Amino acid sequence: MWRDRVFWALSGAALVLLLCAPVVTLFSMRELQEVGISLSLSCLSFFLLLVTVFLGSTSLWRDIDRRFVVPILTQPIPRSRYLLGKFLAFAIFLGFVTFVLGLAAIVSVLIASQQYPSDRPLVWSSLFWAWFMTWFRYLLLLSVALFFSVFSTSFFLPVFGTIGVYLSGSVSYQVLEYAQRNHEEFSSAFVFLLKVIYCFLPNLSAFDFNVYAIYGLAIPIKDIVLCLVYGVCYLLVLVFLSFRFFARREI
């Protein structure tokens, strides 16, 4: 990961965007703090998405395609341990990236808030939870990428499958809510199909706490706990299924 040119190119671009956020906020109408926080969170989310898709989803496939994994799997260790180590390494890597970009975001937000003080308070706890939930959202997406990678013979399924799950999982709740609210426009079979799809897709929008951080609102503890319980359960199921598929795969 550290030697990958894609990672360093993305890291440089992300840091530049974060440090340029105070300049961009000058074009806003007296909401420099809010715009600075929004830009910082959006930049972090976009960068983690790129890292998860283009590095996390292809790492296992590259190891198998280049036969790097063969000497490891010939050792008397279960495949699940190798896969778990791979997943935990990327989870820590995403956490480190979130921490570094979070420090850059703090500098950016402080500069933006000092240029024109906002009437809204800067609630650091909400900002921290927004960062943490952003990391956890892409940790969940990483488990999806791992699941696609264990039975894929090319990089197309892990990459485009992960992108598809990200796009659909980000809007699945809103689509289902709209269909239920306007049920007279849709058939009952279609609404039922949306419910089934919603149950299988990860609800990634549930981990979006950016509004609380931007407008200085306290995040209800119940919402945090429910999201974490849901995310951990979904993640464990996907990792378990990945173990099962990878144990039966011929390499």
Selection from 37, 18, 15 nearest residue 28 by Cα? 37
Give me the pLDDT at residue 2, please: 46
Measure the CA angle with vertex 167, ends 63 and 246; round to 5°: 30
SS3 151: coil
pTM to 2 decimals? 0.84
Domain count within the chain: 1
Give me the pLDDT at residue 15, please: 60
**Contacts for 44 with CB less than 8 Å, ≥ 6 apart:** 14, 18, 98, 101, 102, 105, 131, 134
Give me the pLDDT at residue 178, please: 87
Selection from 223, 236, 208 nearest residue 138 by Cα? 208
Give me the pLDDT at residue 11, please: 59
User: Could you tell me the mean pLDDT of each successive run of 10 residues in the chain, 251 residues long?
Assistant: 53 60 58 76 85 80 69 72 86 87 79 71 86 94 89 81 91 87 81 88 91 88 94 93 81 62
The DSSP code for 52 is: I
Domain containing residue 238 = 5-248
Which runs of consecutive H residues, i.e. helices, occur in 26-123? 32-51, 57-65, 70-73, 79-115
